[in-house]
Structures are given as structure tokens and as C-alpha cells.
Amino acid sequence: MLKQKMELEDNASHWRERCQREGFELHDASRPPDDWRLFYSLAKNRRNLLKNPRADDEFQDWNIIQNGGDCWEISGNRYPFPDSKVTKCFVTSYMLCLKQQLIDLKKEGYTDAFMDQMQPHIKISDWYTARTDCGSEYHICVELLDWRRNPITIFQPEKAIFSYGNDEPWCQMTHVFKDYGPGVRFIRFTHGGKDRQFWAGWYGIRVTNSSVEIWPAEERD
């Protein structure tokens, strides 16, 4: 029994030292992880939990919630995106279009104990743009859910409105969930929009390169 305890302590020490060596510092030193190996793995292998964020696979992995007007469409970008690898976007029509993904944190490797103890930062990002020849609006709602899929906390800013004659800027919506408490088991990401002039076709808001990332360590420059 003593030998097993010593092995566990040695193992924890190894992964704690590895985190320190590679610069993975805790957000809150008063809440050290029970499993330093898991903490190291998740900090090192940060990734986007949303599937098909850039429309490369049409609408695969997205659940269409509202499909107004002439419905959602896929299009190439009218103007270059800041990241040259992003060449496509999802396009809305003349009535509200919304699509959604539900992220199961346990399936993604984030245990209940880890989420409750560490409450790692959850960072969301979404890119959107309008057309210069049509007014449009952008909507986003990201919810942290409990095991029954009831909201624990919600990020839902006011809709962004673009007027006719805008210069088609690429805009980024970002938010970081912090100190949200125990019980988070799912993340529900919903976004979309519409045009504001009710024109047939696809003159509404365009979205692409969406992301949801869990970052248990302090951000590094």
C-alpha cells in the first residue's frame, strides 16, 4: 500500500514538474488538479471542439435550427479571410437562419471531476461579415449546460447590425467563460443571422472559422 502511494506521488510530481517546465501555469493556484497528467495533456493539446467550423464539409456536424428565406447556403469568401486557409463560409438568407452544435465534454476527454475542480477557461470565437449591398444582422448564443442540458451560464450579446453600404469587414466575436461553478457537462453553440431587406437569395450574414476551446492553463504569449 505504501509503495503504491509513493508511486502515485512520484507520478504526480513528474507531471507537475513537466507542466512547470513547459510553462503550463494554473489559473488558480488554490485549485491544483488531482490528475496532473490529465492537466498536462489537455493544456498541451488544446483544440477546437467544434466540428466543420469552416464549411469544408458542407453542413456536416451542424444541426440546422432555423432555415428561413432561401435557407442556409455555402459560399466562397467574397473577400480574403485573415487566415488564407479559410476559403469558405456559411451564408444566411432573408429570414432568420440559425445552426447549432452540442459538445459533450466527457466524450471530448474532459471528465466531470476535472471540469468541477479546475473550471478551466472556455474560450469561444466566431467570425462574421456582411455584404456591402445589403443590410444584415448577426446572432450568437453559447450556453454552458448541466447533465440535464439546462443552462448554467449563457453568453448572448445583442445582435450585431450592418447597414446597407458597409465595407464588408471581417469581424471576430470572442468570449471567455470563467468561474462558472461546478456541473458543466455540455456546451451548446448557436449562431446565424439574416439580411434586413428581405431579398431573395443569400444576402445575409456570413459566418466561418468558429471555435470553442478549453484552456486549463494560463494563456501563453
**Residues contacting residue 173 through CB under 8 Å, at least 6 positions apart:** 124, 125, 126, 127, 128, 138, 140, 157, 160
Q: pLDDT per residue over 126-183, tens digit each?
A: 999 999 999 999 999 999 999 999 999 999 999 999 998 888 789 999 999 999 999 9
pTM of the entire predicted model: 0.89
The fold adopted by the segment(s) 49-215 is Jelly Rolls (2.60.120)
Q: Which residue has the cell 451560464?
A: 153
Q: What are phi and psi of 114, to 5 degrees?
A: -65, -45
Q: Does the pLDDT value for residue 108 go beyond 50?
A: yes
Question: What gap in Å lies between CA 213 and CA 192, rounded to an integer?
Answer: 20
Q: Residue ranges of the domains in the chain? A: 1-45, 49-215
Q: Hey, what's the cell of 34?
A: 488531482
